[in-house]
Structure 1
């Protein structure tokens, strides 16, 4: 059960890291087709990083948990917008234009500009969510080994802001986000097990 939890929550970050390892360093007619296709695949995965983050506080209604869900939602929507505009849109148009995309048309540059703005807001939201998760872990477990996955999530989300999923730091950021989120999910599942067992025992005692 714990390994399944880890796999499900870590998968989005790990998949993005693997995809990012093939990310072209720049967009031009030669790289446009790959640029388009990898971001087309990414649009299905980027939002799941936010879903995994929100899962860590599922079932809770306190303000900190609500903050995690809200930041995860903002990340999932706006960072996906970056992927759609700068990745899918610009990749497709550049591929179709071919040699006419050199020099880069102003319309492509303008699309990159708004995509970057939206992506920056989304990335900051992810980092804010990671900060809230870290605060929650410290409040519940204190400063100790349990904080390590939160630190991985923090570092990954911090470097994602500037590195996106480019090799090498963006790829490592995605791996850190995936491993951190998955590990935190395992800790959450482990913490819930004694309460589940105790509740079962109380129920059996009443019967």
Structure 2
């Protein structure tokens, strides 16, 4: 009599092996793409000398990438319920709202105004209006102190959330190197006071690497726990089937 078949352990290994790459991609993709995009972020001296097409492309891309990058980091602690995890999620939420607002005004709106000014044939007549936004202390791209409020709130919230997330992840048993990388990388955008090169690429590139590393650690831990259980279950199933055959 033929015994009931059970799921081969090799198939379980294959399924478990596929999951880490999907999990890693989910948390790495957005901050990594953002880091690459910000390599091409123009450094404006005189706004009327901007490469407007590149400026607009970068800022259109950043609008979804900022909140998606925040979500990627929040996903690392989605199953954690300690105080540090909640602070991480709160910090990433504030970063996403503040920086998207800041980048819309200081990026897209400024770019559209400059584009209109250059097309008008008399850009100097637009300068006062453009400067009023560019040097606005809340939404401006430069601000009167090089630290417009919304940009400053966003930068500090990113670092605050990343440090809190690192604490939560270390308490969950992750290694020192990836959690330190996550925390330290988040300060690049504050040290350089800009999300253009080198601040943005170093920040989000480093956070992408840390997020992938942390998720890989989690996946390896899960794989080591699942495979023995699956193997034991398969063995128990075979023993049970043989027992039934013997009873017959």
TM-score class, shorter-chain normalisation, is 0.7 to 0.9
TM-score, with length taken from structure 2:
0.71
Match of 2:132 among 101, 106, 120: 106
What residue is the counterpart of 2:178 in the other structure? 149
TM-score, with length taken from structure 1:
0.84
In the alignment, structure 1 segments of 5+ residues that lack a partner are none
The answer to whether the Cα contact below 8 Å between 1:50 and 1:73 also exists between their aligned partners in 2 is: yes
What residue is the counterpart of 1:36 in the other structure? 56
Match of 1:171 among 172, 196, 201: 201
What residue is the counterpart of 2:109 in the other structure? 89
Q: Separation in 2 of the partners of 1:64 and 1:196?
A: 28
Q: Separation in 2 of the partners of 1:25 and 1:128?
A: 26
Q: Separation in 1 of the partners of 2:221 and 2:48?
A: 52
The CA deviation at 1:92 is 1.3
Q: Separation in 2 of the partners of 1:65 and 1:202?
A: 34
What residue is the counterpart of 1:68 in the other structure? 88
Of structures 1 and 2, the larger Rg is shown by 2
Q: Separation in 1 of the partners of 2:225 and 2:85?
A: 20
Q: Secondary structure at the match of 2:79?
A: coil
CA-based RMSD: 2.7
Q: Which has the higher helix share?
A: 1
The CA deviation at 1:177 is 1.4
Higher relative contact order (CA 8 A, sep 6+): 1
Q: Secondary structure at the match of 1:29?
A: helix
Corresponding residue pairs, total: 204
